[in-house]
Amino acid sequence: MDPAGQTLHPADEAQLAEAVAAAVASETPVAVAGGGTRSGLGRPVEAGALIDTRGMSGVLFYEPGELVLSARAGTPLAEIVAMLDAEGQELACEPMDFAALSGLDPAEASGTLGGMVAAGVAGPRRIRAGAVRDHVLGFRCVTGRAEPIKSGGRVMKNVTGYDLSKLVTASHGTLCVLTEVTVKVLPKPETQATLVLHGLDDAAAVAALTRASGTPHEGSSFAHVPEGTSPDGIARTAIRLEGPEVSVSARVADMIRDVAGSAETSTLDAGASATFWNDLRDGLPVVAGEGQVWRISVAPTAGPVVMTAIRAAGVPVLAHAYDWAGGLIWLRVEAAGDAHADAIRAAVAAAGGGHATLFRADDDVRRAVPVFQPQPSALAALTARVKHAFDPVRVLNRGRMREDL
């Protein structure tokens, strides 16, 4: 079967392997998608056909007592989150919902479990709970050789062989098509509250967040929304604390004593706190509006330095905010043919290095500009060898991460 021009809907791993084998035989590159919410991340894919993974859906097992869940890759993430919530559990890495960034209605658009792993984008709690890859226990997939493989298991221990979960996470569907994923889940905290310091500039805010993250008061998330980005024009420096209610109340008081200094403070209750961090997880309020969006990862104390250099280079900044105690910058800029890539990446390099990823731009810009941080030559060569090992004909999401892959 020649898959060219078709949208394929495999219902299981065997049908998926047949579809990939046909693509390999005819040398037809295929795009891989689930919910489609992440389709704008990465370079536009060169594809003659589409594999839609949503037919491979459903939870295989969920054992709350063992803190483990396994589901087919096309299972809507919203369905999994609801199932976990009913048992008082969660995906602690807080995977990003791409609907707002993509201009989709979150009530109608849902990413999938496979998409969560393929994108590998964690939220505010990442600095405490770890990245998406740290929560993937195992998976099944079909490689670009049309070979089904299995890696990992149901627990972290007693597993031999290469830990391919780390490799496949954030590979954007360029190495294999996931069919099943097993993840570690964790109990949800009893409650949460967010201490907010008002009116700090970027440098003072990140200094306060650095102090807060170094205290024994166990904050789980640290962010700053500057006055130019905040909807009401008031800068907010936010510190989330989670756990038993008595503990959270005591730790908020301790954090005020040890971190706030002379800054005016307020506290968000559990509901308002959850809304604030869910919005920040998804890039809000930065991504709301016209323009191109960057997501920049640097050393936490370098965040304000990078923003100062970006502005000094003449980049027209529309909005920005900091997460991960200053180590993650959400940045929206006026649209340009080069997305201001050279100036932004030069600012990152001058501040000690990091990764600047173009998260939103139109197709022409994402073809012209490296979407992901360019790799040193040795690492780029290694990446190419890994791609060839999994997908020698380059049939899976061709060009998604690099033009030559």
Neighbour tally for 2: CB within 10 Å? 12
Residue that is last in its domain, among 253, 281, 309: 281
Q: 38 and 162 share a domain?
A: yes
The residue from 281, 308, 324 where one domain ends is 281
Give Cβ neighbours of residue 38 (< 8 Å, ≥ 6 apart): 98, 102, 111, 115, 118, 119
Specify whether 83 is located in the same domain as 154: yes
Rounded CA-CA distance 80/91 in Å is 9
- Same-domain status, 208 and 107: no
Q: What amino acid is encoded at 325 in this protein?
A: A
Which positions ≥6 away from 336 have C-beta within 8 Å? Answer: 292, 365
Residues 132 and 179 placed together within one structural domain of the fold: yes
Residue 330 belongs to domain spanning: 292-368
The 10s digit of each residue's pLDDT in 65-119 is 999 999 999 999 999 999 999 999 999 999 999 988 988 777 777 899 999 999 9
**Whether residues 161 and 268 fall in one domain:** no
Structural domain contains residue 154: yes
Q: Are residues 201 and 264 both part of a single domain?
A: yes
Sign of the CA dihedral running 174, 280, 326, 254: negative
Provide the number of structural domains found in the chain.
3
Strand 7-8 to strand 49-52: parallel, antiparallel, or no bridges (unpaired)? parallel
Residue 314 falls inside a structural domain: yes
Q: What is the pLDDT of residues 346-378, one digit of tens each?
A: 999 999 999 999 999 999 999 999 999 999 999
User: Is it true that the peptide bond before 29 is cis, omega within 30 degrees of 0?
Assistant: no
Q: Say what the pLDDT of residue 139 is.
A: 97
pLDDT at residue number 157: 58
- Those residues whose C-beta lies under 8 Å from the C-beta of residue 216, and which sit 6 or more positions away, are none
Compute CA distances 212 → 12, 50, 81, 280, 327, whole Å. Answer: 48, 47, 30, 19, 14
Domain end point (choices 247, 281, 315)? 281
Give how far Cα 105 sits from Cα of 38, 118, 391, Å. Answer: 13, 21, 34
CATH of the domain at 328: 3.30.70
Q: Is 1 among the domain residues?
A: yes
- The SS3 call for residue 246 is helix
The CA distances from residue 391 to 27, 42, 147, 163, 211, in Å, are 11, 18, 10, 18, 46
3-state SS assignment for residue 213: helix
Q: Which long-range contacts (CB under 8 A, 24 or more apart) does 308-314 make?
A: 309/346, 309/347, 309/350, 309/351, 310/340, 310/343, 310/344, 310/347, 313/340, 313/343, 313/346, 313/347, 314/343
Residues 202 and 350 placed together within one structural domain of the fold: no
59 and 100 share a domain?
yes
Q: Is 287 a domain residue? A: no
Same domain, 15 and 143: yes
The tokens describing 368, both together, are 């012209």
User: The domain spanning residue 270 has which CATH number?
Assistant: 3.30.70.2190
Task: Assess whether 73 and 145 both reside in one domain.
Answer: yes
- For residue 286, being part of any structural domain is answered with no
Q: Are residues 169 and 31 in the same domain?
A: yes
- Are 63 and 114 found together in one domain? yes
Task: Count Cβ atoms within 10 A of the Cβ of residue 81 and give its class: 0-12 exposed, 13-18 middle, 19 or more buried.
Answer: middle
Report the CATH number that the domain containing residue 89 is assigned in CATH. Answer: 3.30.465.10
Residues of the chain with pLDDT below 70 are 1-4, 155-161
